Amino acid sequence: MPRRDDIKKIMLIGSGPIVIGQAAEFDYSGVQACKVLLEEGYEVVLVNSNPATIMTDPEFATRTYVEPLLPGPVAAIIEKERPDALLPTLGGQTALNLAMDLSADGTLEKYGVELIGANRKAIIRAEDREVFRQVMNDAGIRIPWSVTVESVDEALAVLDSGDATLPAIIRPAFTMGGQGGGIAETREELISIVAKGVAASPIGQVLVEESVIGWGEFELEVMRDHKDNVVIICSIENLDPMGVHTGDSITIAPAQSLTDPVYQSLRDIAIKVIREVGVETGGSNVQFAVNPADGEIAVIEMNPRVSRSSALASKATGFPIAKMAAKLAVGYALEEIPNDITRATPAAFEPSIDYVVTKIPRFAFEKFPGAEHRLSTYMQSVGEVMAIGRTFRQSFSKALASRELDATTTVPASDDDLLEEIKIPTPERIDLIMAGLARGISVEAIHERTSIDPWFLRELASLALEEDGTEGMERIYSSVDTCAAEFEARTPYYYSSCEAPGSPTEVRRGNRPSVVILGAGPNRIGQGIEFDYCCVHAAMTVRDCGRDAVMVNCNPETVSTDYDTSDRLYFEPLTLEHVLAVCEVEKPEGVIVQFGGQTPLKLAQGLRDAGIPLLGTPVEAIDAAEDRGKFGALIDRLGIKPPPYGSAMSAEEAVEVAATVGYPLLVRPSFVLGGRAMEICYSGEDLDTYLKQHVQASPEHPLLLDRFLENAIEVDVDALCDGDEVKVAGIMQHVEEAGVHSGDSACVIPPMSIGDDMLEEIREATAAIALELGVIGLINIQFAIAEGGLYVIEANPRASRTVPFVSKAIGAPVAKLATRIMLGQKLADLDLPESNGSHVSVKEAVLPFSRFQGSDSVLGPEMKSTGEVIGIGPDFPTAFGKAQAAAGVALPDEGTVFISVTDTDKPAATQLAARFHDLGFKVVSTGGTAQAISRMGVPVETINKIAEGSPHVVDLIEDGRCDLVINTPTGSGARADGYEIRSTAIRHGIPSLTTMTGASAAVRAIGVSRNGPGEVYSLQELHAR
């Protein structure tokens, strides 16, 4: 049976905003699925609230809805679009859960929508721990045993009965991050840990579970078709043994340490698991623990959908799992689908690879001071790099080089201290191990403390002591071909490795000119999927303009590293050495460094020095924008003001400069990424504290001091410049207090409370700066409007994080237009619509605080969000309400609102309180605000400010007695309070608004929602208006 003809329209659900554990890999899989389904002639209805995804570009679906991924809005879309089927397996856990909700609430049945890929029963059998356990037990598949107990006596009874054995893991029920649990090795430990655990658990219950910590961890990627043919796409071995989440583990493909019989046993079990769970078609992932002592195998879990691991497996083998999953879901069998890469053989096979793949996760603990640096069974990494090499050592050393770490790991001087430190899995552990091995510490000593398989440790030791074994060899490029060269590869997906001199390179470079696009490397906070989005657009445009698009990147999660995205993909570290080597082969017309964030920009000077032509904005302009002195002089020439600023080479000088610049001050070191170590100082005391705690100012690393414009409206502008002309693509007004990093701030297009004269002034200033800098392509400028004046905060002559949002809001592909300009076209020849007035778009940031135990979850000048959502509506309140809902902080329909505002906002706040009261909300407020509200005759409950002691507002939130926070803080104390209030609100998933613009929108949105759910409309409809 080829494709199904009984379905015409298929709904696909994306994974929403980028969060830890669910990132760009679902854009990659979703894009593949969308492309396949459209090619097959189906109508595709896509729902995803994340504007920074390629899949939400209008050409990837028949209808694209950027609505919140919640049952209500999605049901409304189903009602409107009437899809025949829903494919829930390509949008991560979010899509799977949403599909289950729509199934449970009867929506799917009501509108006759069939779940394809995985049905309800299979999803339950895989996802419900208890059902899964039963299914596995019935099938005779070993899983770690576990017993629930409520007392020490009960625990001892199960121990004595033999139902439990030691060592065992004790996990208290319903505590955060396993708090109160532990590993019991002895009877005594069992008694004490169970006692503690029962006490820690709010329901007095603990799970006594078999300990497989220290066992080897493996994953198999499995695919099944409707004819019940099953194949294994890839095996993955975790370098970090059981106990570290696989997303946080260094992983290697294929498995290295397994004998053939043990591997075949895993394979047999994986096939049995997918059949028993009943995933009818598509990809699944099965995780195993293998006891290294005797080869005993236990199944840990299975995911009945494509996953982060399947994206990695696709990139590691060249086998496009998501694409195949989509084809299988619409009725094809594996044997009916050709292998993309060989084109001669069918997809019913198992890839064989002739290289080694290493994945290393990328962490962001430095962004979350106070968070415990410890890897555990829940994921904390924010991105990853992958590297391909012909040998383990080559692969691993390329992966280490790909990481782009900001800091080097401090290695303890004594071996004993080092050996003590590596007992705990941390992001830095691999560097400590490498340092220890280089120092001559034995493999056995490290194995004893880490349980890492000695095979890996011996390889690492030889890497540490003898480097990667490539001396005297030459770098060549080989293809990723799924078949270990048994058949010829048609797909231009390459990696470099070193081989004996005279070895042939496999790159097939035609005669067309090529343009090299440098990607953004691993996702991290401050440099996420938005930059990959721009790189993909650049590749599309380069191809459209008659050149070969050549992509260089090392991030396996992304669309940019899909071999379909470019004419040639080089999966390589973004280091000068590797990029120059690619240029040596490609002899490109030019290299694009504007789209991948800081990563490629850091290489710009080196590339230019090597004589490689750079397209777009010249290096000098980038430098002029980043150098405060040069940039200050430039805007001074143009008559544009910056906030008062200065810089200091020493702590003493900082104090002097502060006096002239004036408080409050924004202080930061000169070299920063994403606003690290940036703080607002209200007084000399604050500054002293900052200087002591954070930074050593020095002539090499001066300290920057800017006046902080209190109560300013912040504005972000993305504009295009061709050298002669400038067009503003989007002006975004922040809906967040000044001082919150623009990446963490909600913003709105068009601006809501900025007058026409000021907008014109912004446009003029943008044009003047872009032209004066000599920008060719994109520029992002941040402005502040304070006391009627316009100040320029900074200018970045490159693609910004907001480009995808602006593109979706205005309905024009800004990055594509920028690419055309970089390739020599003029703005006059390009079609950039003026933002139409028919709708309003709001972007909201999504924060990861709940992942980091013990971290001070405080928003400020340092960026901390991992992702973003968009809300589009006919008016600001509707769009704002949708954005909040999409970000997981839906505005409440009823309940208690907390209002505390700065003096200038008090008149507006009283109006606001009155409207909340009229909507039936209880109003709670502090001191001055409460008085003002009360004077208007609105009933209000007064509560303490934090400084006034408990019970105060934070207690109110902690106790779950507050549903909405409105807080516009000014001044040192209020600002500190504000951070704490907002952080508490975020932790509890309560919306928190910090500007009156946002607050007015919220009250209006709540009012509007009383009239029932609003209309849903697709991007295609919206931009056709």
Q: Which residues bind another protein (CB under 8 A)?
A: 227-229, 231-232, 254, 256-261, 263-264, 267-268, 292-295, 334-335, 345-346, 348-356, 390-392, 453-455, 458, 469, 478, 483-488, 499-500, 503-504
Judged by beta carbon, residue 478 or residue 1018, the one nearer another protein is: 478
Closest of 846, 842, 919 to residue 876, by C-alpha: 842
Q: Where are the alpha helices (DSSP H) in 696-825?
A: 756-773, 803-810, 814-822
Closest CB 213 distance from another protein, rounded Å? 18
Closest CB 616 distance from another protein, rounded Å? 37
Q: Where are the alpha helices (DSSP H) in 259-404?
A: 260-277, 308-317, 321-329, 392-402
Judged by beta carbon, residue 351 or residue 702, the one nearer another protein is: 351
Judged by beta carbon, residue 282 or residue 730, the one nearer another protein is: 282
- Report helix, strand or coil for 915: helix
Q: Copy the structure tokens of residue 612.
A: 């490689």
Closest CB 390 distance from another protein, rounded Å? 5
DSSP state of 963: S
CB atoms within 10 A of CB 632: 12
Closest CB 570 distance from another protein, rounded Å? 17
Judged by beta carbon, residue 346 or residue 755, the one nearer another protein is: 346
Judged by beta carbon, residue 252 or residue 515, the one nearer another protein is: 252
Closest CB 351 distance from another protein, rounded Å? 7
Judged by beta carbon, residue 205 or residue 257, the one nearer another protein is: 257
Closest CB 509 distance from another protein, rounded Å? 18
Closest CB 457 distance from another protein, rounded Å? 9
Sign of the four-CA dihedral 320, 326, 329, 334: negative
Judged by beta carbon, residue 344 or residue 947, the one nearer another protein is: 344
Distances (CA, A) of 93 to 15, 75, 97, 552, 986: 7, 18, 6, 30, 21
Closest CB 504 distance from another protein, rounded Å? 6
Closest of 46, 49, 95, 81 to residue 841, by C-alpha: 49
Closest CB 293 distance from another protein, rounded Å? 6
Closest CB 256 distance from another protein, rounded Å? 5
Are 53 and 880 within 8 A, CB to CB? no
Closest CB 225 distance from another protein, rounded Å? 9
- Report helix, strand or coil for 456: helix
Judged by beta carbon, residue 259 or residue 511, the one nearer another protein is: 259
Closest of 881, 859, 856 to residue 871, by C-alpha: 881
Closest CB 387 distance from another protein, rounded Å? 14
Strands across the sheet containing 230-238: 297-303, 282-290, 216-224, 230-238, 251-253, 356-362, 383-389
Judged by beta carbon, residue 264 or residue 689, the one nearer another protein is: 264
Closest of 537, 590, 607, 594 to residue 566, by C-alpha: 537
- Which residue type occupies 1025? R
Closest of 497, 449, 501, 454 to residue 473, by C-alpha: 501
Judged by beta carbon, residue 458 or residue 694, the one nearer another protein is: 458
Separation between Cα atoms, residue 675 and residue 687, nearest integer Å? 17
Query: Integer distance in angstroms from the first to the last C-alpha of the chain?
Result: 41
Are 166 and 184 within 8 A, CB to CB? yes
Closest CB 338 distance from another protein, rounded Å? 11
Judged by beta carbon, residue 272 or residue 641, the one nearer another protein is: 272
Judged by beta carbon, residue 260 or residue 700, the one nearer another protein is: 260
Separation between Cα atoms, residue 398 and residue 388, nearest integer Å? 7
Closest CB 503 distance from another protein, rounded Å? 5
Separation between Cα atoms, residue 235 and residue 218, nearest integer Å? 7
Closest of 139, 138, 105, 103 to residue 118, by C-alpha: 103
Sign of the four-CA dihedral 742, 743, 744, 748: positive
- What are the start-end ranges of the E strands in 735-798? 747-749, 777-786, 789-796
- Report helix, strand or coil for 842: strand
Judged by beta carbon, residue 231 or residue 715, the one nearer another protein is: 231
Closest of 225, 162, 149, 127 to residue 135, by C-alpha: 127
Judged by beta carbon, residue 264 or residue 942, the one nearer another protein is: 264
Give the count of alpha carbons within 13 A of 696, CB side only: 2
Are 694 and 679 within 8 A, CB to CB? yes
- Report helix, strand or coil for 24: coil
Closest of 514, 627, 596 to residue 604, by C-alpha: 596
Residue-wise burial string across 953-962, b where 16 or more C-beta atoms lie within 10 A, e elsewhere: bbbbbeeeeb
Closest CB 280 distance from another protein, rounded Å? 16
Closest CB 229 distance from another protein, rounded Å? 4
Closest of 590, 498, 503 to residue 821, by C-alpha: 590
Judged by beta carbon, residue 229 or residue 942, the one nearer another protein is: 229
Separation between Cα atoms, residue 600 and residue 612, nearest integer Å? 13
Judged by beta carbon, residue 42 or residue 477, the one nearer another protein is: 477
Closest CB 577 distance from another protein, rounded Å? 21
Q: Where are the alpha helices (DSSP H) in 825-905?
A: 876-886
Judged by beta carbon, residue 509 or residue 628, the one nearer another protein is: 509
